[in-house]
């Protein structure tokens, strides 16, 4: 097949493309605007493959999208392009409305026009796979329930509201126009090549530099953690075997409190990169009045963000039952692989850091010492 992937330079998108190129014979066209979180270095291992190509295109540019469809002639589409960070959506929601809602609308319309002109059997086998988040379901606070595919939507943040909107658009284009769509909603991803504004890479990299490890509120928010390469396998399975019009929840079966995730990272770093061998971090810690004996000393509780959901948890039984997918990685195995990857790839981290990113971190978290 010829697979068009939007947002393929992002964290999850790049994992999907690496999986397709490394484990199948399909061709991929990567469409990405290359915003701050898009990084083509995450695709270095496949970028020279003759079955891979890249087009720098904003999904809000309808004419440019149409040109990509005309040139590449995709058999299927995987839509991952999105603004995806909750904190950024609170600070500046406009970009989330533009990309996640208007961009998805543009993509649906270009795909529909393209699909309508296809002959058989291509028209019957075309798929529009929309990749979304469990955050559209809202908060599971004060309940032991799990998110199922039938859970009502109750988004809390501008980010999750924009993703909920895009989900609704995709379903409407299936119902009204017959466009053959699939939707997946995933839990929190983690793993290699993750942009260091998200919790796990932020904690790893701050710890290695002896900087504060910011934890919102008491750190008792619960998330279900999914290793990104497991997610990539799930998305490919849905694309190739999923039932048109269906939604599939993808989760890691790993509910953890944020504070426990942070402490686990500190413990692994104590083992793999002891502070005794990290003189720069030790010096930074002692300058801040810390002993510099364990990374956990760096934990700093900061003011909680507005509208912070307390718990997310995915029921992924449908995708396992109907499509035979389940995660290969436990949290313990996946988180260790993740820490080791960041230890082994410091140059990747350094190259993606920019002045704008540092300024945003300073604005968002301050010095990490807020009450």
pLDDT digits (tens, 9 = 90+) for 216-249: 999 999 999 999 999 999 999 999 999 999 999 9
The predicted model gives 144-148 an average pLDDT of: 95
Report the percent of the chain where pLDDT is more than 90: 86
What pLDDT, on the 0 to 100 scale, is given for residue 87?
86
- Residue 115 tokens read as 């699909």
The mean pLDDT value of the chain amounts to: 93
Q: Evaluate whether residue 160 is within a structural domain.
A: yes
Tell me the CA end-to-end span of the chain in Å, nearest whole number: 53
* 48 has a pLDDT exceeding 80: yes
pLDDT for 362: 62
CA 265 vs CA 51, 308, 342: distances in Å: 37, 22, 12
Is 365 part of any domain? no
Higher pLDDT, 367 or 362: 362
311-333 pLDDT, tens digit each: 999 999 999 999 999 999 999 99
Count of domains observed in the chain: 1
- Domain range holding 174? 2-195+227-253+310-328
Adjacent-strand bridge partners of 222:
257, 311
* Of 355 and 201, more confident: 201
Q: Are the C-beta atoms of residues 182 and 128 closer than 8 Å to each other?
A: yes
Q: Which of 343, 85, 334 is nearest to 209 (CA)?
A: 343
Q: Write down the pLDDT at residue 295.
A: 97
For residue 368, the model assigns a pLDDT of: 40
Looking up residue 95, the CATH number of its domain turns out to be 3.40.50.720
Q: pLDDT at position 371, please? A: 26
For residue 91, tell me if it sits in a domain. yes
Residue 131 lies in a domain: yes
- β-partners of residue 28 are 3, 52
Q: Rounded distance, CA 263 to CA 344, Å?
A: 21
At 251 the three-state DSSP class reads: coil
Residue 361 has pLDDT above 90, yes or no: no
- Domain membership of residue 274 (yes or no) is no
Query: Residue 325 burial (CB < 10 Å; 0-12/13-18/19+)?
Result: buried
Above 90 in pLDDT, residue 182? yes
Strand bridging mode 255-257 / 222-227: antiparallel
Q: What number of other Cβ atoms are within 10 A of residue 50's Cβ?
A: 6
pLDDT score for 349: 83
pLDDT score, position 85:
82
Q: What's the pLDDT tens digit per position in 275-313?
A: 999 999 999 999 999 999 999 999 999 999 888 999 999
Where does the pLDDT of residue 369 fall: very low under 50, low under 70, confident under 90, or very high at 90 and above?
A: very low
Give Cβ neighbours of residue 237 (< 8 Å, ≥ 6 apart): 319, 323, 324, 325
What does each C-alpha distance from 79 to 167, 321, 360 come to in angstroms?
A: 11, 24, 27
369 is a domain residue: no
Catalytic residue set: 134-135, 159
Of 71, 54, 60, the residue nearest 109 (C-alpha): 60
- Tokens (6 digits) for 265: 């990272």
Residue 232 inside a domain? The answer is yes
CA distance 302 to 284: 20
User: Percent of the chain at pLDDT above 70?
Assistant: 95
- The verdict on residue 49 lying in a domain is yes
* Dihedral angle of Cα 77, 78, 81, 87, to the nearest 10 degrees: 150
Q: What CA–CA distance (Å, rounded) separates 48 from 183?
A: 30
SS3 299: strand
Is residue 276 within 8 A of residue 342, CB to CB? The reply is: no
């Amino acid at each position: 097949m010829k697979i068009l992937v939007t947002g393929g330079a992002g964290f999850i998108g790049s994992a999907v493309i690496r999986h397709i190129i490394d484990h199948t014979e399909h061709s991929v066209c990567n469409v990405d605007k290359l915003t701050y979180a898009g990084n083509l270095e995450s695709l270095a291992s496949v970028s020279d493959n003759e079955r891979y190509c890249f087009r720098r295109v904003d999904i809000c540019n309808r004419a440019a999208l149409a040109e990509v469809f005309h040139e590449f002639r995709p058999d299927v589409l995987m839509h991952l392009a999105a603004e995806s960070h909750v904190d950024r959506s609170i600070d500046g929601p406009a970009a989330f409305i533009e990309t996640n809602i208007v961009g998805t609308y543009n993509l649906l319309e270009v795909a529909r026009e393209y699909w309508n002109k296809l002959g058989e059997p291509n028209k019957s086998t075309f798929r529009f796979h929309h990749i979304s988040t469990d955050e559209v379901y809202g908060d599971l606070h004060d309940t032991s329930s799990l998110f199922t595919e039938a859970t009502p939507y109750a988004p809390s943040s501008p980010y999750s509201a924009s993703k909920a909107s895009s989900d609704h658009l995709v379903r409407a284009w299936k119902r009204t126009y017959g466009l053959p769509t699939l939707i997946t909603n995933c839990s929190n991803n983690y793993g290699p090549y993750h942009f260091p504004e998200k919790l796990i890479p932020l904690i790893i990299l701050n710890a290695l530099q002896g900087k504060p490890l910011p934890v919102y509120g008491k750190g008792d928010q619960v998330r279900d953690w999914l290793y990104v390469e497991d997610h990539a396998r799930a998305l490919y399975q849905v694309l190739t075997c999923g039932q048109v019009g269906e939604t599939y929840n993808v989760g890691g079966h790993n509910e953890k409190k944020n504070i426990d995730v942070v402490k686990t990272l500190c413990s692994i770093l104590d083992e793999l990169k002891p502070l005794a061998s990290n003189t720069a971090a030790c010096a930074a810690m002692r300058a801040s009045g810390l002993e510099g004996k364990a990374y956990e000393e760096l934990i700093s509780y900061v003011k909680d963000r507005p509208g912070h959901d307390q718990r997310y948890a995915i029921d992924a039984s449908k995708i396992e039952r109907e499509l035979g997918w389940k995660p290969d990685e436990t949290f313990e195995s996946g988180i260790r692989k993740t820490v080791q990857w960041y230890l082994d790839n410091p140059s990747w981290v350094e190259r993606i850091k920019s002045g704008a990113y540092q300024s945003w971190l300073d604005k968002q978290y301050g010095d990490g010492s807020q009450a």
